[in-house]
Structure 1
Amino acid sequence: MTSTLPAVTTPKVPAQRQPASTVRSMGRTTPPKRLRSSRPDLLLCGALLVAILVVQGWNIADYPTLSDDEGTYLAQAWAVQQGRGLAHYTYWYDHPPLGWIQIAVLTWIPSWLSPGSMTVADMRVAMLLVSAVSAVLVYVLARRLSLPRWAAGFAMALFGLSPLSVVLQREIFLDNIAVMWTLLAFTLAASPSRHLWHHFGAGLAAATAVLTKETMLVVLPAVFVTMWRHSHRDTRKFAVTGAVTACTLIGFSYPLFALLKGELLPGGGHVSLWDGIKYQMTRPGSGFVLDQSSGSHGVLHSWLYYDRVLPLGGLAGALLLVATWRWSVTARALAGPALTVAILTALALRPNGYLPAMYVIQALPFLALVLAGGTASVAHAVLRRWRRPDEQKWKTGGRYALAAVLSLAAGAYVVPRWYDGDHTAVTADANAPYRSASKWLTTEVADPKDTRVLVDDALWLDLVHHGYRPGLGVIWFYKADLDPAVTKTMPHGWKDIDYVVASPTVRRDAVDLPNVKAAIEHSKPVATFGKGPDRIEIRRIQTAGTADGGVR
């Protein structure tokens, strides 16, 4: 008797479904899990990086004009290098010191090889490293947010080659370094690997950004929104909680530092963190940004003077992403950058807020990302085939012809304007007056070691390297009125000064500084460099013994 066995059938295993954010990305190819394994991505990112470094590095010492803020941060970094403390004067908690500690690290080797090169113009080269890292992070972040390769390259080009970016990223600003750390936090938060250490790393990077420039605190919600969207649902709460905890613990190191020094709260004879925060929160506003008579409007005008494409186009891109939130995968993928743009725009629109010129630096990479994302969203809507058979289909040639026409039209508008701005950046010499003033003070003054001169911080390190006594001989002009450690060395006020270098910054702020104002009023120019409002005057203080105004 025989029996037959039933046929054995192999059950079909359903294909594993990929996350919708990956399948429904704007490009037709899925972003690689590891960009370093993608040759096209590496070639595109590398080519753009070379272009960005050439444009930003060419003529970096001569344009834009040296600023007092750059000099202050570099002088504080010099003080750290020299073991003089956290600042070249009394550190008063104006900003967390981590920012210029990083500048000290960036400039340590060149200053060690050539101590005299530790000046603002020369050390701007160190910012190229920060720009390079930030530009690469913009590309990586764009790909991790599911933007197609061309859109990621577009975002990187917007961020690195916009004339507004070229000008501001050259300068030694804490904002540039803080943006680098913020981009790293976003990139780790959007990691496709979803490793827990990536999320903890995002929290640490976010805290470092805040301790570099405290205003980055307002961007933290957008970092955690990005992390929430990209973390695994099973470990999401743990990952976000761990990141928040890491960020908070690192952030508390700053007030702990002040507490250990006995400078957390106000008291007799010392500065305090509380007074520093109070100053930052109560400083006079610069008016409403849309009020043409306000200082904030002047700052906005200066941004748009360099470039209208990135600021206005970025805002338009953010609005488009918000409007298409419900049905656009790109809009949801770019929730973090779009939220960042929204937060920074809302703060800039405060009726009487303080709007510094470097504020826009914090928004530049996110404006680039949302503009590229909005462009990708529109391009995808134009180029995709209609899926339902009853709808009219565009011919392939016609669709790509339309895309080419739109691209050429955008290029015809953008390229000439960017060319003019970037051409100025790589050819103009805005710092000749500063170089001439520095040379005069080092060659025409008989005894620099016995001379006291008020300068802005853009010149402070130049004169220190040429023999002037730091803090006592060459004096940052603010300290002549605001630092008791300096004013006690000036028992006769302005009469204890020999020269005042009246740069645009000194002339502008002297109205609120009695000693500096009196020094200018009781002095005569002995040398003038440049013309108009940008001129630099070296003025000799007129006392009974120097009525002739001669140079000693």
Structure 2
Amino acid sequence: MAQHSRETTLSGPVAAHRLLSLDVVLALLALAGALRVLYLAAPTPALPAEAANVAHAVALRHFTAFTDAGGAGVSPFGWWQLSACATVSDAFGRSVTALVAVRETMLLVAVLGALLLWVLARRLGLTRWAAAAAVLLLAASPLALGLQRLVVVEHLAAVWALGALVLLTRPDARIRHDVPAAVCLLAAVLTSPLALVFLPAAGWLLVRRSPVRAALVAVLLNLGLGIAFGPAAGLLRPQLAASGRPSVADWVALDPAWAVLSTVALVAAPAVAALRPFAVSGLLLVAALLVPGVPDTAVLALLLPVTPLLLAGVVQAVTRQRRPSHRWEGRRGTAVAAVVLVAVVAVGWGYGYPAQRPAADRGGPLAEARDWLRANGSGARVLVDDGAWAELAKAGWPTGALVAAAACATGCPPAEWAVFAADETGLRDRYPALDAAFDGSGATAVFGTGEGRVTVSRLGLPPADPAAPSETSARARAGEALQASARITFTPDAVVPLRAGRVDSRLIATIAALAALQPVRVAAFPEVPGEDPAGQPRRRVLLTGGEDGAAAFYTGQRDPFRPSSVVRTGDGVLVTYLLFAPPGLLVPFSSP
């Protein structure tokens, strides 16, 4: 009974310790997940290659081939992981856009990475609070929030590498743990070749324990890499993305404190025996930043979980080495150091969080362009860039009707529409055949502004006759005549586009004809979203008063004056015409 009582007494503090650790790690994971949900759809910083990775994931879900516009690198194994995770979690079905659907996978990967970092820190001998500080830096850093929301395969590679290191640092590790560790390392390298920088750390940990087992893991890893980069190279061999923006400077601007603390950790970590293997990998990643052509974003994605671990380990080692003469002196020194550290981090984070502008709207310009095209050109053959390909394919557009920009390497296949969310000028420079596809075509709808601008163009329209009278001038003069009619009443909002010549000629002609039958009240010429920035005339009208007669009048029209829809609403009768009125409907108003 005495022995049983003693075991119960000893187990109480141990159980409480474990429960506290569980509470701490769950709180940290909840923080990491919540912040990433908030910033999931943030538009900046933007990575051009992200659209291609999303498109490849969507293409694999549809079991179809896709060729990106170049510069995104190659990672078949990484794309399969992205597609499988988004499919299993039904992210494609729940999310507004394909981009947000695949970014949800990045959210899960970030939370899993934080959990693995906690386990690794504890197995390296870090205290509960030192491990918590390392995970907190990874979970809440603005740089980590901005980077880990992007669809970058290196995030997947970092989790595989952390999983391998967790297995290799297991206190009671056996050969049965070394084999999964070798598989994780192989998966990391197949996801991104940059993950090779973690092999020295893994080898160092194995050699410390058993050179024979290190040789076994090396044989397994070399065998897998030999197959992947040899006979199966066409299916598995990864390649790095092209270098470009965002650069290291762009990322560091979000969190300067991370750069300073990371530098301190990388310099000091080799002095701590337990941290040396990881310091080597961190220094190799820093060296990779100096290699021309290596993408900075990919390197930082792998470096993110390393430096918080090194920093926490260095701070713990320094704290333990100090032996103050008085206990109060030690506590005061630790408190001062903690306050200084928190102040440095807070100053950096004060800029980084607002700079990313979390977006409440998970759709964005590309989703608006997709919806507009579905309403005005459903099922048509569309020339698209990588981002538009993913969104239209996710929305159910036939993939056979989507012509990727890369298909214009020698000559563009015929298409009726074009949707470009990326730098159209850059794509034209890369694929000169695009110039022929866009010859004589102008923007039909424009969504968003700046770098997020999405342009929808109608291809194949006959070129305008330079000798023909201006349609805009004819519409403006006809609008003035319409406004002068005593049988037609316009609200002030309706007068502005009418006098500017921005109302469709079919509407002007039919309103004049309707006024001959009954008095007409025009409440508005509602804008079709995206068309005003492209210079398209308003092709909708809201009529109030005499609604029965107005609805019957427009329903009975014939081409070219037959509207696409006549809808009774709570505000009146909404009449909508298709795009592109035939020229010459207002010939009497063509000249002053």
State the TM-score, normalizing by the size of structure 2. Answer: 0.69
Amino acid at match of 2:391: D
Opposite residue 364 of structure 1, the aligned amino acid is L
Cα distance change on mapping 1:75 and 1:162 into 2, 3 Å: same
Q: Which runs of 5+ in 2 are unaligned?
A: 1-13, 466-470, 472-533, 537-578, 581-592
Matched, 1:461 2:387: no
1:54 to 1:465, Cα distance in 2 relative to 1, 3 A: closer
Give 1:412's aligned amino acid.
A
C-alpha deviations, 1:257-286, integer Å up to 9, x for none? 537xxx59xxxxxxx97xx86xx6xx98x5
SS in 1 for 2:247: helix
Paired residue for 1:7? none
Query: What whole-Å deviation, never above 9, does each CA across 1:381-406 have from its counterpart, x for those lacking one?
Result: 44x34xxxxxxx2x211221122122
1:451 matched residue in structure 2: 381
Q: Deviations over 1:127-183 (max 9, x none)?
A: 222112110111111111122221111111111211111122122221111110000
**CA distance, structure 2, for counterparts of residue 79 and residue 428 of structure 1:** 26
Question: Are the equivalent residues in 2 in contact too, given 1:189–1:224 (CA < 8 A)?
Answer: no
User: Is 2:179 the counterpart of 1:227?
Assistant: no
- The 1-side partners of 2:423 and 2:299 are apart by 18
How far the C-alpha of 1:423 sits from its partner, in A, is 5.1
* Counterpart Cα distance in 1 of 2:40 and 2:279: 31
Deviates more, 1:401-410 or 1:527-536: 527-536
For the 8 Å contact 1:499–1:541, the answer to whether it is kept is yes
Native 8 Å contact 1:501 1:539 kept in 2? yes
**1:113 and 1:299 mapped to 2: Cα distance?**
30
Q: CA deviation at 1:209?
A: 0.6
Deviation at 1:517, TM superposition (A): 4.9
CA 1:332–1:338 in structure 2 vs 1: closer, same or farther (change >3 Å)? same
- RMSD of aligned Cα (Å): 3.4
Decide which of 410, 414, 421 is 2:352's aligned counterpart. Answer: 421
Q: Does 1:58 align with 2:38?
A: yes
Question: Residues 95-134 of structure 1: matches in 2 within 5 Å?
Answer: 95-111=74-90, 114=93, 119-134=98-113
Which structure's CA Rg is the greater one?
2
The answer as to 2:434 corresponding to 1:516 is yes
The answer on whether the counterparts of 2:119 and 2:166 sit within 8 Å (CA) in structure 1 is: yes
The aligned counterpart of 1:390 is none
Deviations 1:415-464 (A, max 9, x none): 2432543355573358622232222222233xx32332222x22323212
Q: What residue is the counterpart of 2:171 in the other structure?
A: 192
Question: Contact 1:77–1:101 (CA<8 Å) still a contact in 2?
Answer: yes
Q: Deviations over 1:330-351 (max 9, x none)?
A: x11011221111101111112x
Matched, 1:238 2:212: yes
Do residues 215 (structure 1) and 146 (structure 2) align? no
How far apart, in 2, do the equivalents of 1:510 and 1:334 lie?
49
- Give the Å deviation of 1:103: 1.7
The answer on 1:145 being equivalent to 2:124 is yes
- Taking only the aligned residue pairs, the percentage that are identical comes to 24
Residue 503 of structure 1 deviates from its aligned partner by 2.8
- 2:340 maps to 1:409: yes
Corresponding position: 1:499 with 2:417: yes
Asked if the contact 1:206–1:220 (Cα under 8 Å) also holds between the matched residues in 2, the reply is: yes
Match status 1:399 vs 2:330 = yes
CA offsets, 1:207-228, max 9 Å, x none?
Answer: 0111112221233122211222
Aligned residues: 455
2:406 is matched with: 478
Q: 1:432 aligns with which of 361, 364, 368?
A: 364
The residue type equivalent to 1:250 in the other structure is G
The corresponding residue for 2:498 is none
Q: Tell me which residue corresponds to 1:254.
A: 228
> What letter corresponds to residue 416 of structure 2 in structure 1?
D
Q: Give the counterpart of 1:307 among 252, 255, 258.
A: 255
Aligned to 1:337: 278
SS in 2 for 1:528: strand
- Give the conservation status (yes or no) of the 8 Å contact 2:158–2:302: yes
Q: Is the 8 A contact 2:253 2:352 kept in 1?
A: no
Offset of residue 119 of structure 1:
1.2
Work out whether residues 114 and 139 of structure 2, in 8 Å CA contact, stay in contact via their aligned partners in 1: yes
- Bigger mean CA deviation after superposition, 412-421 or 53-62: 412-421
**What is the rounded CA distance, in whole Å, between the counterparts of 1:166 and 1:343 in structure 2?**
23
Aligned to 1:38: 18
Task: Give 1:526's aligned residue.
Answer: 444
Residues in 2 aligned to 1:522 and 1:219: alpha-carbon distance in whole angstroms: 53
Q: Is the 8 A contact 2:387 2:421 kept in 1?
A: no
Contact 1:58–1:426 under 8 Å retained in 2: no
Q: Report what 1:27 is aligned to.
A: none
SS of the residue corresponding to residue 183 of structure 2 reads helix
- Which amino acid letter does the alignment assign opposite residue 340 of structure 1? S
State the match for 2:28 in structure 1. Answer: 48
For the residues of structure 2 that align with 1:532 and 1:516, how far apart are their CA atoms? 22
* 1:463-489 Cα distance to aligned partner (Å, 9 max, x none): 12445331x4223323322xxxxx5xx
Query: In structure 2, how many angstroms separate the alpha carbons of the residues matched to 1:362 and 1:147?
Result: 21
Please identify, of 362-371 and 542-551, the stretch whose mean Cα deviation from structure 2 is larger. Answer: 542-551
1:35 Cα deviation (Å)? 11
Contact residue 437 and residue 459 of structure 2 kept, 8 A: yes
Of 339, 348, 371 in structure 1, the residue corresponding to residue 311 of structure 2 is: 371
Q: What corresponds to 1:81 in structure 2?
A: 61
1:206 and 1:306 mapped to 2: Cα distance?
A: 31
Q: Distance in 2 between matches of 1:178 and 1:132?
A: 14
CA distance in structure 2 between the aligned counterparts of 1:80 and 1:510, rounded to whole angstroms: 27
Distance in 1 (CA, whole Å) between partners of 2:417 and 2:296 is 29
Match in the other structure for 2:51: 71
Measured in 2, the distance between the counterparts of 1:244 and 1:118 equals 42
Indicate the residue corresponding to 1:380 in structure 2: 320
Deviation by residue 1:361-391 (Cα, 9 ceiling, x = unmatched): 0111111111222222333344x34xxxxxx
Match of 1:538 in 2: 456
C-alpha spacing 1:378/1:180, structure 2 compared with 1 (3 Å): same
In structure 2, relative to structure 1, the CA distance for the partners of 1:467 and 1:347 (3 Å cut) is closer
Residue identity matched to 1:315: T
SS of equivalent to 2:164: helix
**Which deviates the most, 243-252 or 360-369?**
243-252
- Conserved? CA contact 1:174–1:212, under 8 Å: yes
Question: Structure 1 pair 529/142, CA: closer, same or farther in 2 (3 Å)?
Answer: same
Q: 1:434 to 1:221 in 2, by over 3 A?
A: same
- Report Cα offsets for 1:28-86 as digits up to 9, x if no partner: xxxxxx999833322221111111111111241344467553333333333333333xx
